[in-house]
Amino acid sequence: MGVDGDGVAEAVAREMLLMSPGVRTSRALTDGLLDPEFTEVGASGRRWDRRAMLAALPELEGGAEDGPRYEPAGMTGVELAPGVVHLRYETVIDGRRARRSSIWRKADDGSGWRMYYHQATPAPGE
């Protein structure tokens, strides 16, 4: 895992939290990790806003303690500007691979780093 600075390390730690079932099923925990202006383009092509993601996340893949889990690999990040971090990595869940990209920004209110944008693109098996 490549990291470039404290902001990147914090964004990586929070990205990993978002992949854990305990966080995915807790609206309170997830609420603190998603930026108020959060948007996502999922691997299905669906566009999500913050409200829709908070409502759906507990039921989405990776949320069940006894179900398939995200297996991240090759996570790297760079601070694009003060308070803005870009992460890139791949995941496998239930045999499906995806390339992922996230933008994290540090909140001015002291709540720390929050995911502003996320995109997942299906990746062919190699």
What's residue 2's pLDDT? 42
Strand order in the sheet with 84-93: 47-49, 34-41, 113-123, 96-106, 84-93, 71-81
CB burial class (10 A; 0-12, 13-18, 19+) of residue 41? Answer: middle
CA pair distance 41, 61, nearest whole angstrom: 15
What's residue 3's pLDDT? 46
- Which pairing describes strands 34-41 and 47-49: parallel, antiparallel, or unpaired? antiparallel
CA pair distance 112, 126, nearest whole angstrom: 37
List the one residue out of 58, 81, 61 whose CA is nearest residue 5. Answer: 81
What's residue 27's pLDDT? 92
CA pair distance 79, 4, nearest whole angstrom: 7
In the numeric block, which tokens belong to residue 71? 């297996």
State the 10-residue block means of pLDDT for the chain, 126 residues long: 72 96 93 96 94 93 88 96 97 94 94 96 83
What's residue 25's pLDDT? 93
What's residue 4's pLDDT? 52
**One-letter amino acid for residue 74 of the chain:** G
What's residue 110's pLDDT? 85
